[in-house]
Amino acid sequence: MRVWFLSAGLALMCMAQNAAAGTVLIVGDSISAGFGLDTRLGWVSLLEQRLKHEGFDDKVVNASISGDTSAGGRARLPALLAEHKPELVILELGGNDGLRGMLPTQLQQNLASMIDSSRASGAKVLLLGMQLPPNYGARYTQAFAEAFTKVADEKKIPLVPFFLDGVGGHPDLMQSDGLHPAAGAQGKLLENVWPTLKPLL
């Protein structure tokens, strides 16, 4: 009888742990898709390892696509939310909007829509901000960076102001194209995100 109670107790504990485990959905572009890298070395894979190491049972779904824009993410997000039912959505989009010279106001609208959709599905949202190189002009680069801050303030969600902080502008941490972080930078990307992400789990 005692063995039965112990077994039942262990089963209930496992069920409780599984019930508490959630899904983290990452909707991003080439930086999160691991462009030019073995994806096992990318920051998303490092995040999965960190979660396990720190005792979290959350599943990570990486729905990032190289070349994606905020408009593309907005279009495909509803299906992703319906399929994966995440507890947390990490939005890492906008870099390609900036490189293509798209209006920061449109970026802001797309991000706001994705935040609203994620929340309506019951998920928390973390926004990863981006910045552009200075050669895009001071006025545009400032408006671009402010789009992330404005939408985060408006929607009252946590923001990592510059996802590539400490990486962008450092040739030794970038691939030869100067746009994508190298393998050696992936740990830094995770460290940029982790302090803001962990309290949301």
Mean pLDDT of the 136-163 span: 97
Return the number of other C-beta atoms located less than 10 Å from residue 64's C-beta.
23
Average pLDDT over the chain, rounded to an integer: 92
C-alpha torsion sign, points 103, 105, 111, 113: negative
Q: What is the pLDDT of residue 1?
A: 53
160/35 Cα distance (integer angstroms)? 21
Does residue 183 contact residue 41 with C-beta atoms inside 8 Å? yes
pTM for this structure? 0.90
User: Per-residue pLDDT tens for 155-166?
Assistant: 999 999 999 999
* Catalytic site positions: 30, 177, 180
Q: Could you tell me how many helices (H) and strands (E) the chain has, helices first?
A: 8, 5
User: Per-residue pLDDT tens for 33-88?
Assistant: 999 999 999 999 999 999 999 999 999 999 999 999 999 999 999 999 999 999 99
Q: Kindly tell me if the per-residue pLDDT of 3 is higher than 90.
A: no
Residues in the chain: 201
User: Per-residue pLDDT tens for 104-134?
Assistant: 999 999 999 999 999 999 999 999 999 999 9
